[in-house]
């Protein structure tokens, strides 16, 4: 029964730990002085977040004390309890710690069955080998590393569900070898990585794939993905890739900066498409190749066709279209096409990159365009237009 006046002490240990994980680590440890019960509480924190803002909560830490951090973290890890859910290690201070020490700490976390690991060092180094010993990992985030070789005896991450590789120096072979070693991987995010030429993603468990290459990247020659369970694909790449092959039979969600349809024609289950960098002429009249398409979003619409063939089959399931255009002239041909070919259209959103006048004329023009289904009510939403309702 709860007492008449509740204090922090009335909470069970698990709840206190939950609260302490949201407090900077040094303050959480400082609480050990509150009372006997609190003395050992911090040792059961399920999350150890060693990052600049969590390790030292205020700006009181002078840079002269950085070398002490190594001893401090050593002390913390030695006193900490048996199991560890998450170990987060990133920040300015990482540059003052030796690689061998970090390796030792990660190994320590591995022994504690750590399930979530996030590492980001100040300088780019090879991924510490101890990372590959954390066999209970469910989530791994690596930023700023080079991962060009897999450790010979690495037997895989049997529980890994999410893998984030950000700003990693990779190579084709490593990525290809890594995937079968993660048999239950559901989400793979490869962002701003370099060193890849022929990207090959084959996984029977993957549900979500995001490939976001930096604008400077121009070495990619081929991208192939063969994932029978994949539902959502995001591909962002600025340069033209010769060969793109996707065998993704149930993929329903696509978001891409590629402005052509051909690489994706095999994705027959697509329901929602977003072209983040516009779409080329001629491609619009091929949208009917996606029989289940219900929602389309075209951002940065600069390449919209002037003469879209009007004889193409209907887009039977298309209900929602969102166009982000630079000028009204860009929008009209596409809107005309959609209104004619999408009998199920319910919502039309047109937004402007920079505000401009002419909303009223635009709406008038729009409603005078021939429509496939005269009875259907279309919700028209104009965003970023000056003087619009």
Partner 1 sequence: MAELPNTTMANECKVKLKSKDDKIFEVEYAVAMQSQTLKNALAHTGCTDTALPLHDISSQILAKVIEYCEYHVNAANTISEKDVKTWDEELVKHMDQDTLFRLIVAAKYLEIHNLVDLMCKTIADRIKDKSVEELREIFHVQNDFTPEEEEQVRRETKWAHGE
Binding site for partner 1 (CB under 8 A): 1-2, 5-11, 15, 18-24, 26-27, 29-36, 38-39, 57-58, 60, 68, 72
Give the containing element (helix H, strand E) for 233.
strand 232-236
Q: Which is nearer to partner 1, 11 or 292 (CB)?
A: 11
Residue 96, both tokens: 């003052």
Strands 47-51 and 347-356: unpaired
Q: Which is nearer to partner 1, 79 or 125 (CB)?
A: 79
Q: Which is nearer to partner 1, 2 or 100 (CB)?
A: 2
Q: Which is nearer to partner 1, 22 or 383 (CB)?
A: 22
Q: How far is the CB of 328 from partner 1 (least distance, A)?
A: 27
Q: Which is nearer to partner 1, 38 or 145 (CB)?
A: 38
Q: How far is the CB of 138 from partner 1 (least distance, A)?
A: 18
Q: How far is the CB of 42 from partner 1 (least distance, A)?
A: 9
Residue 125, both tokens: 């180094």
Q: Which is nearer to partner 1, 72 or 378 (CB)?
A: 72
Task: Round to whole Å and give the CA distance between 325 and 338.
Answer: 15
Q: How far apart are the first and last CA of the chain?
A: 56
Task: Round to whole Å and give the CA distance between 208 and 235.
Answer: 11
Task: Round to whole Å and give the CA distance between 240 and 246.
Answer: 16
Q: How far is the CB of 40 from partner 1 (least distance, A)?
A: 10
Q: Which is nearer to partner 1, 31 or 111 (CB)?
A: 31
Q: How far is the CB of 55 from partner 1 (least distance, A)?
A: 10
Q: How far is the CB of 16 from partner 1 (least distance, A)?
A: 10
Partners of 349 in the beta sheet? 322, 381
Residue 255, both tokens: 């978001």
Q: How far is the CB of 48 from partner 1 (least distance, A)?
A: 14
Q: Which is nearer to partner 1, 13 or 262 (CB)?
A: 13
Write 126-131 long-range contacts (CB < 8 A, 24+): 128/99, 128/102, 128/103, 129/103, 130/103, 130/104, 130/106, 131/106
CB atoms within 10 A of CB 240: 11
Q: Which is nearer to partner 1, 24 or 263 (CB)?
A: 24
DSSP 91-159: SGGGGGS-HHHHHHHHHHHHHTT--EEEEEEEEEEEPPGGGGG-TT-SEEEEEEEE-----TT----TT
Cα dihedral 188, 189, 193, 196 sign: positive
Helix then strand then coil, % of the chain, to nearest 5: 30, 30, 45
Residue 118 contacts residue 89 (beta carbons within 8 Å): yes
Q: How far is the CB of 59 from partner 1 (least distance, A)?
A: 11
Q: How far is the CB of 347 from partner 1 (least distance, A)?
A: 14
């Amino acid at each position: 029964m709860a007492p008449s006046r509740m204090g922090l002490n009335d909470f069970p240990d698990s709840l206190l730990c939950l609260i302490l994980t949201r407090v900077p680590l040094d303050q959480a440890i400082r609480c050990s002085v509150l009372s006997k019960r609190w003395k050992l509480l911090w040792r059961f924190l399920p999350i150890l977040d060693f990052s600049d803002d969590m390790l030292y909560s205020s700006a009181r830490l002078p840079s002269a004390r950085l070398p002490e951090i190594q001893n401090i973290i050593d002390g913390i890890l030695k006193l900490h309890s048996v199991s560890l859910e998450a170990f987060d290690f990133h920040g300015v201070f990482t540059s003052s710690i030796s690689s061998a020490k970090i390796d030792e700490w990660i190994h320590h976390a591995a022994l504690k069955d750590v399930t979530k690991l996030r590492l980001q060092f100040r300088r780019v180094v090879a991924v510490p080998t101890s990372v590959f010993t954390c066999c209970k990992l469910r989530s791994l985030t690596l930023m700023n590393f080079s991962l060009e070789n897999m450790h010979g005896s690495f037997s895989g991450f049997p529980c890994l569900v999410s893998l984030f590789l950000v700003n990693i120096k990779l190579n084709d072979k490593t990525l290809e070898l890594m995937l079968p070693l993660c048999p239950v991987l559901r989400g793979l995010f490869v962002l701003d990585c370099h060193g890849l030429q022929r990207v090959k993603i084959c996984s029977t468990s993957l549900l979500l794939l995001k490939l976001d290459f930096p604008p400077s990247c121009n070495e990619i020659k081929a991208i192939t993905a063969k994932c029978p369970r994949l539902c959502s694909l995001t591909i962002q790449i600025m340069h033209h890739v010769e060969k793109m092959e996707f065998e993704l039979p149930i993929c329903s969600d696509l978001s891409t900066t590629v402005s052509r349809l051909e690489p994706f024609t095999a994705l027959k289950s697509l329901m929602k498409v977003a072209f983040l960098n516009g779409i080329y002429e001629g491609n619009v009249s091929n949208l009917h190749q996606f029989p289940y398409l219900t929602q389309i979003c075209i951002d940065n619409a600069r390449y919209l066709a002037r003469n879209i063939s009007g004889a193409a089959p209907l887009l039977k399931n298309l209900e929602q279209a969102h166009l982000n255009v630079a000028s009204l002239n860009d929008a009209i041909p596409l809107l005309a096409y959609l209104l004619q070919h999408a009998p199920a259209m319910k919502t039309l959103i047109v937004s402007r990159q920079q505000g401009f006048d002419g909303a009223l004329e635009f709406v008038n023009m729009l409603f005078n365009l021939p429509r496939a289904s005269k009875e259907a009510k279309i919700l028209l939403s104009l965003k970023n237009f000056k003087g619009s309702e």
